[in-house]
Structure 1
Amino acid sequence: MWKRLPLLWTVLRGDARQLWFALRHPAAPRWLKVGSVLIVLYVLSPIDLIPDFIPFVGFMDDIVLVPLAIRWLLKRLPPEVAQAAASRRAG
């Protein structure tokens, strides 16, 4: 389980940083916080859609689903939060 965290961070570093900045924005909606907690719980959970003991394929659900979920949340941000988070990510 812990071996996959560095790989996930490498794959989604930019989006994760933008999500972090969006979460810290004063106008961040409650659903963003709930969605982010659910993503973290999924990553840390020992229960996966495809069990991790299956070589290579077991980690693919995390590598695909987590970035998709983060991108999905980011696309639904209010414009002022999205703009502020994107500018902080770039700078």
Structure 2
Amino acid sequence: MRKENRAAAGAAAWQVIQNTDSRISVWQRLAAVPRMLWSGLRGRYPELGRSKLIGMLLMAAYIVSPIDFVPELFIPLLGLADDVGIAVWLATMALGESERFLEWERRNQAQQAFQQANPDPRAG
């Protein structure tokens, strides 16, 4: 993607990201994306299904690929719009899912802490 396209896609994605009502910051969600992807690949985070994961990877590949469905060389405005649209879709999908991942992760940590503090007497 050309430099101008990346800047436009970044600005559009940032606008979408800022318009959420979340208690979890954008930076926390960004930091959680690699953990979410890794947990999804290993099957530990069941809410991130294979189809979602493959879709996210395909969108990322499309953004970094020099090949476009609508080339900027022939139709500049429309060529830019498809890149921006895919980038915004990917950013909102990844950050929305990472917010759900963080909530899932916190629930699991709380459950583990509870189980450690209250061991099952039948297990011993």
User: Is the structural similarity TM-score above 0.5?
Assistant: yes
Q: Quote the offset at 1:23 in angstroms.
A: 1.6
Task: Tell me which residue corresponds to 1:13.
Answer: 14
Gaps of 5+ in 2: 18-25, 42-49, 106-124
Aligned residue identity for 1:20: L
TM-score (norm 1): 0.59
* 1:1-91 paired onto structure 2 within 5 Å: 1-13=2-14, 15=17, 20-25=30-35, 28-30=39-41, 35-53=55-73, 54-76=75-97, 79-81=100-102
Identity %: 19
Q: Quote the offset at 1:57 in angstroms.
A: 1.1
Q: Quote the offset at 1:33 in angstroms.
A: 6.5
Task: Tell me which residue corresponds to 2:45.
Answer: none
The structure with the larger Rg is: 2
Distance 2:56 2:29 in 1: 8
Moved more, 46-55 or 7-16: 7-16
- How many matched pairs? 84
Q: Which has the higher contact order (CA 8 A, sep 6+)?
A: 1
1:67-89 deviations in Å (ceiling 9; x for gaps): 123323444558342577xxxxx
Distance 2:103 2:29 in 1: 9
